[in-house]
Structures are given as structure tokens and as C-alpha cells.
Amino acid sequence: MTLTALAVVGALLAADKPDFSKETLPSPREATGKSINGKSMSEMLEKVKEIWPTIVFEKDGKKVEYVATLDTDDGVIEIEFFPAHAPKHVRSFIALIKAGYHDGLIFHRCIRGFMNQGGCPQGNGRGGPGYALPAEFNSIKHEKGILSAARSQDPDSAGSQFFLCVADAPFLDGKYTVFGRVTKGMDVLDKIVERSPPGSERPNPPCKVKKATVKIKGEAAEKKSDADAKKTESEKKG
């Protein structure tokens, strides 16, 4: 293959990679200072930019599905994503987790019969990751367990803040970007929201996300299967 051909192939491969600068928008909420988890906002933003192009939803013709786990003070929540409906929001959430952004953050706003909101680096609903996401409104309904993007009045202002519905909220349908769903830990959502007194949206004390992690669905099982196969082969040889 000639150098020109190699350059063309390289350019095509690069074009297929998600581009942070093309998929995000500037935000008035700059990534300065430190998060309430003690980490540098600017350093986490740089990590997100590095991680962004590595998060793909299809590889070698097969779907790549991610599962996120939020280990909270009230228990473990597992989440699946909807990249076909909101790829930029899903990619952002995964990149933030991989950058350690959500570790140590709290659910700062919890409303009984409605939702639990988190993802603010200031812990008060005023912070963001240093970039914004264009709206990806879709047809998925806001039902209990749905993960959706919090935003201001500007449709294109979502950042790192998110909310998890603890009840159906049809009045939000088509107005906020749904990008995931809880698959485990519905009871944890109920525990978190009950930290807010009736009639209040301020939990006392708030629930913390001790650690947020993400993995590719089936990856652990495949690794274990490969390890078992190698062990069996070794035993046969022995």
C-alpha cells in the first residue's frame, strides 16, 4: 500500500472517531477551580476530551453496549443507555464517569413523586463540566427509572447534571433528553428521594455517589469464559 493510500485510510479512520469539538457546545459554566470531590475541573475536562473518541457504539459490525454503576450511600444503581436516541449525551456521561467526574458528587435536588437530580460539581445545581450538549429530544417516555439530562431554559444547555425519575413524568416528554434507564436499584431511587422532607427538594443529608464505574456489557463474562477455556485446555495438557 502506498503512502498516499495509507494516508487516505488513516483519514477515513480518524473521520469515524467521535470528535469532542464537533459534538459539544461552549458553555458559560467554565471548568475552573475544584469540584466538591476535590478534583481539578480543568484536568477532568482534559481527560474527557481524551476519552471522548474512544467511546464507540459499534465495532466490527457489532453493537457496543455500556452499563454504568453508581455506588451510592443508599445502594447500587445500574444503568443501561440509549445511544441510538441520544449518542452525544450517552458518550458524555460515560466519558465523565471514566474521568472520575461523578465520584463523590451528591444528589443535590430530590423531589418526592418526581426525581433525583445529581451531577453538579458544586453540589448546588449551578455547576457544569465546561461544555454543553445539543438537545437530543426523542420519543422515549419519562417513566420511573429513566435517566434524563437536566438543563436550563436553553434546550442546548445540558452538561453533566442529570436526573433519575422516581415516578412517571409525562410533562417532560419531548422536552428533555432521555438517554438511559435504571436496570437495577429502583428501590435505591426511593431511598434517595426520601432524604428530602415532604414539600422540600433539598435532601438532608444528601446521598453521595461514592464511586461511578462503566463497563461494556458482557465484557466481564467474556473474559471469565476465556479464562475458563484456557484453564480447561491447560488441565487437559496436564
CATH of the domain at 205: 2.40.100.10
Mean pLDDT of the chain: 90
d(Cα 99, Cα 81) in Å, to the nearest integer?
A: 18
**For 75-79, 80-84, 232-236, which range has the lowest pLDDT when averaged over its residues?**
232-236
Task: Let me know how long the chain is.
Answer: 238
Residue 38, C-alpha cell as written in the block: 476535590
pLDDT level of residue 233 (50, 70, 90 thresholds): low
CA distances from 134 to 5, 24, 43, 70, 217 (A): 35, 7, 23, 25, 27
Is the residue at 4 inside a domain?
no
Quick check: is 120 in a domain?
yes
Weakest mean pLDDT among 42-46, 51-55, 58-62, 107-111: 58-62
User: What is the pLDDT at residue 28?
Assistant: 85
Among 43-47, 172-176, 226-230, where is mean pLDDT lowest? Answer: 226-230
DSSP 5: H
Evaluate whether residue 162 is within a structural domain.
Answer: yes
Q: Is residue 29 part of a domain?
A: no
Task: Please indicate, yes or no, if residue 123 is contained in any of the structural domains.
Answer: yes
pTM: predicted TM-score of the whole model, two decimal places: 0.87
Rg (CA), the chain: 20
- Quick check: is 142 in a domain? yes
Residue 76 lies in a domain: yes
Number of domains the chain contains: 1
pLDDT > 70 in the chain, percent: 86
pLDDT surpasses 80 at 85: yes
Q: Using one digit for the tens of pLDDT, what is the confidence trace for 10-43?
A: 444 444 789 999 999 999 888 999 999 999 999 9
225 lies in some domain: no
Q: How far is CA 213 from CA 78, 138, 234, in A?
A: 10, 26, 33
Residue 209, domain extent? 43-216
> Cβ distance 155 to 142 under 8 Å?
no
Q: Which residues pair with 19 in a beta bridge?
A: none
